[in-house]
Chain A
Amino acid sequence: MNRFTMQRRIAIALLLALSAGGVLILLDGHNPFEAYKVLFLESFLNYWGFSNTLVKASPMLLAGLAVIIPMRAGVFNIGGEGQIYIGGLFGAVFALAVPDLPGLLGVPLIFFAAAVGGAFWAAIPAYLKAYRGTNEVIVTLLMNFIAIHIVSYAVAGPLLAEGAPYPYSEEVSEAYRLPILMPRSDTHVGFVFGLAMTVILYFWLRFTPSGFQLDLVGRNARAAAYAGVDQKKTVIRAMLIGGSLAGMAGAIEVIGLKYRLFHLFSDGYGYDGIVVAFLAALNPIVAPLTALFLAGLSAGAGTMQRAVGVDSSVIEVVEGLVVVLVAAALVTPRTRSTSILKPLARNLRLRRQTQRQKKEA
């Protein structure tokens, strides 16, 4: 399937999901067009609304890339959430342990520490997948919960701030805080960092041999093996990159937004990353758009509820439908999955054939 049909199908899937959400809004007794208008105007064209969208889009984009890169090598990284937590933990521990560096040195080191944390958390399922053939989906899923509880232990125990009423750590020093992108708002430069990563990864996948190996292994592992590509190394490399991206998303949440490590600081961004990746059809250069779209949806849901009175849970339904329909619309030729239309078309063809045969008989 060429890129154009793929994009057209994704667009149709999106429209269908939004229409289904529209029906629910109608059932709720409101005008769907009005509700969607408010949602998109508020989250993209209003200064404060857009700043809110950007804040959410930043971890979603990095988490999306953390799904895309391993997926290109055929590995399904459900562990973004856990990698965000461990990355945030490593970043915060480093920032709190070495509080006196100048910002220009400290911030990159915090990012590095977070990337190491995320990569470490991804290395375990990667090793198990490559060398033991253990299903990475189950391992990454289990490790998400372990990571969340580790962070919850850390902020309630060793890292607990003095006199804190709620489990969180001390603040990181002023020098380490990420610069604000939009004046007078919370919007840090996290999304810009994500954009830079997107461009780098796009060029890496497109124009370098090691990036090409990823696709080779993902699309046809046997052919890759005959071409002399080390499959195990490629799988591990893809997972390590994915893990470090998610880990840095965790650090951005800590030093960009809350300036502390909080209990449950990531609100399912790792799972949102899966949606971002699928909407982007695993193309990194599209991921910023899909991250913005998804972030806009969830940032606008609350506004829509306040302004129009439509229940914000409608948006969750739309998000679920988006994944179902996009997954159904995407034909990934060599992996034996098929589109929503293909069985229908086949049925139709068979029916016509039998009718023709009947006529002839």
Chain B
Amino acid sequence: MIDLVLLGDVLAGTARLGTPIAFAALGGVIAERGGLYNIGLEGQILAGALGAAAGSFATGSAVIGLGCGIICGLISGLLLGYMSVRLRINQLVGGIALNLLLAGLTAFLSRQIFGAQAGGARVKGFSQIDIPFLSDLPVVGPSLFSQDPLFYLLIGLAIAAWFWLMKSHKGLDLRAVGENPKAADLAGVPVFRMQYLAIAVSGALAALAGVHLVLSQVYVFAEGMSAGKGFIALAAIILGRWSPIGAICAALFFGFCDAVQFKLQFTSPEIPYQLFLILPYLASLIALVVLGAKASAPASVGLPYDREHR
């Protein structure tokens, strides 16, 4: 019986810790399928978190907070898009710069907005929703079917993203841009518009990770609260083989590792918990080496497209 309780705990932790990573990874998949690296996920999570905290703090409504967070994510995505699509700055440098910039800017703005409380202002967030009947199931019920609304939103968005990317005409266009922008351009696909769209959506999804941290987990904004989740998401993209569903499974696996690690720190200090912290990165690394990136990574990811260049 104790093991079942433990299992339920770990499952609930998996969903809670995996959700932000999954949002960010989903965003990363959309961008990379359009041929753009989004190394700025980490910063965009912070932007979303600050937007959500500020919106909810100002209006007392979690939904408005959600909206503000998404808008901040869209803007930060477009900024990265401007750097990578228009200026054709090295996309990795652009992303790293965006992370630095947003880490500083969100810290600065949070002190301006929340003042002396230094980001310690509690804001109104989402409460969990129990899905009727399913939430009464043993073990999986309380952990998977009585989550906050953003968890359900994640599941919905994942399916929608998969359908859009793999089954719709526009999604095919986007994938074409990521594989061979020249060919897509010649076929009449608006390459730059698709890339801007992808990077903006990507920023908004990463921001949702931050929204989840603020409005469903801790209810305050804290400086640097993304704590490397944007980078773990980059790993989840690889492990998930650049597929929306795969990335989310990978993200949930990372959430599982994190949940186990937390449990271990308390229950069995003799097992090195760092093992489970390393596991996600190691798994991604091995996936990258053994399965090879070339087979499933978009062929033109990271290469700026220049019409005038052969």
**Interface residue ranges, A against B (CB under 8 Å):** 24, 27-28, 76, 78, 128, 132-135, 137-139, 141-143, 145-146, 149-150, 152-153, 156-157, 271, 274-275, 278, 311, 313-321, 323-324, 327-328, 335-340, 343
Contact of A132 among B87, B228, B274, B292 (CB under 8 A): B292
Chain B residue with minimal CB distance to A137?
A: B92
**B105 at the A/B interface (Cβ < 8 Å)?**
yes
From B79, which residue of chain A is reached at the shortest CB distance?
A324
Shortest CB distance A334–B (Å) = 11
Which B residues are in CB contact (< 8 Å) with A324? 83, 89, 94, 97-98, 101
17 A-B contact pairs sorted by A residue (CB < 8 Å): A24-B108, A128-B289, A138-B234, A139-B288, A142-B281, A142-B285, A143-B281, A153-B274, A156-B272, A156-B274, A271-B100, A311-B108, A311-B111, A320-B102, A320-B103, A337-B87, A337-B304
Q: Is the CB of A317 within 8 A of B96?
A: no
Q: How many residues of B contact A (CB 8 A)?
A: 51
Top 8 A-B residue pairs of the complex, sorted by shortest distance between their CB atoms: A316-B104, A320-B101, A320-B100, A323-B97, A317-B104, A313-B107, A153-B274, A313-B108
Residue in B83, B101, B238, B306 with the greatest tally of chain A CB atoms within 10 Å:
B101
Cα A320 to Cα B105 with chains together (Å): 9
Cα–Cα distance between A123 and B93 once the two chains are bound (Å): 22
Tell whether, in the assembled complex, residue B108 and residue A78 are in contact, meaning their CB atoms are under 8 Å apart.
no
Q: Which residues of A contact B102 (CB under 8 A)?
A: 320
**Residue of B101, B288, B293 touching A317 (CB-CB under 8 A):** B101
- Is the pair B112, A27 in contact by a Cβ cutoff of 8 Å? yes
* In the complex, chain B residues whose CB is within 8 Å of the CB of A311: 107-108, 111
B residues near A328, Cβ cutoff 8 Å = 83, 87, 89
User: B90 at interface (Cβ–Cβ under 8 A)?
Assistant: yes
Q: Does B155 contact A (CB under 8 A)?
A: no
Chain A residue numbers with a CB within 8 Å of B169 are none
Task: Give which listed residue, B88, B272, B277, B284, contacts A337 with CB less than 8 A.
Answer: B88
Residue numbers in B under 8 Å from A278 (CB-CB): 93
Q: Which residues of A contact B96 (CB under 8 A)?
A: 78, 271, 274, 323
Pair A336/B282 contact, Cβ less than 8 Å: no
Task: Tell me which residues across on chain A come within 8 A of B304, comparing CB atoms.
Answer: 336-337
| Interface residue B193 (Cβ < 8 Å from any Cβ of A) | no
Q: Classify the secondary structure of B's interface with A.
A: helix
Any A CB within 8 A of the CB of B176: no
Complex CA distance for A343 and B292, rounded to whole angstroms = 37
Q: Which residues of chain A have C-beta atoms less than 8 A from B274's C-beta?
A: 149-150, 152-153, 156
Contact (Cβ within 8 A) A338 B101: no
Residues 285-310 of B, flagged 1 when their CB comes within 8 A of A and 0 if not, give 10011001110000000111010010
Q: What DSSP secondary structure best describes chain A's contact surface?
A: helix
Kindly state the separation between the CA atoms of A276 and B288 in the bound complex, as whole angstroms. Answer: 29
Q: Which residues on the A side are within 8 Å of B277 (C-beta)? A: 145, 149
Q: How far is the CA of A278 from the CA of B111 in the complex (A)?
A: 30
A320 touches B293 (CB 8 A): no
* Contact call A338/B104, Cβ cutoff below 8 A: no
Which residue of the partner chain, among A146, A152, A313, A336, contacts B104 with CB atoms under 8 Å? A313
Contact A327 B93 (CB under 8 A): yes
Q: Please, how many angstroms separate the alpha-carbon atoms of A62 and B281 in the complex? A: 26
Find chain A residues with CB under 8 A from B232 CB: 145
Asked if B170 lies at the interface with its beta carbon under 8 angstroms from chain A, I say: no
Q: How far is the CA of A143 from the CA of B185 in the complex (A)?
A: 37
Measured in the bound complex, the distance between the Cα atoms of B302 and A76 in whole Å is 13
CA distance A340 to B89 in the complex (A): 9
Contact indicator B104/A314 (Cβ below 8 Å)? yes
Q: How far is B99's CA from A338's CA once the two chains are assembled, in angstroms?
A: 21
| A274: chain B residues within 8 A (beta carbon) | 93, 96
* B278 interface contact, C-beta 8 A: yes
Give Cα A99 to B306, complex, Å. 58
Q: A313-B111, A323-B97 are in contact. Are A338 and B88 (CB under 8 A)?
A: yes
Q: Which residues of B contact A78 (CB under 8 A)?
A: 92, 96
| A336 contact from B88, B94, B238, Cβ within 8 A | B88
Task: Decide if B90 touches A327 in the complex (CB within 8 Å).
Answer: yes
Q: Which of B89, B104, B228 contacts A145 (CB 8 A)?
A: B228
CB distance from B99 to the nearest CB of A (A): 8
Q: How far is the CA of A320 from the CA of B102 in the complex (A)?
A: 8
Q: Are B278 and A320 in contact (CB under 8 A)?
A: no
Q: Determine if A336 and B306 form an interchain contact, defined as CB atoms under 8 angstroms apart.
A: yes
Residues of chain A within 8 A of B37, CB atoms compared: 137
- Say how far A67's CB is from chain B's closest CB, in angstroms: 11
Are B104's CB and A134's CB within 8 A?
no
Give Cα A259 to B285, complex, Å: 33
Instruction: Report yes or no: B282 in contact with A314, Cβ–Cβ below 8 A.
Output: no
Let me know if A28 and B112 touch, CB within 8 A. yes
Chain A, residue nearest B277 (CB): A149
Taken together as a complex, chains A and B put the C-alpha atoms of A269 and B304 apart, in Å, by 29
Residue from the set A128, A153, A313, A318 with the largest chain B CB neighbour count within 10 Å:
A313
Considering the complex, which residues of chain B in the window 248-287 have a beta carbon less than 8 Å from any beta carbon of chain A? 272, 274-275, 277-278, 281-282, 284-285
Q: Specify which chain B residues have a CB less than 8 angstroms from the CB of A315 in the assembled complex.
A: 104
Distance in angstroms between the alpha carbons of A340 and B288 in the assembled complex: 34
In the complex with contacts A28-B112, A311-B111, A145-B272 CB distance below 8 A: no
Instruction: Tell me the minimal C-beta distance from A289 to chain B in angstroms.
Output: 20
Residues of A contacting B284 in the complex (Cβ-Cβ under 8 angstroms): 142
Partner of A320, one of B90, B97, B223: B97
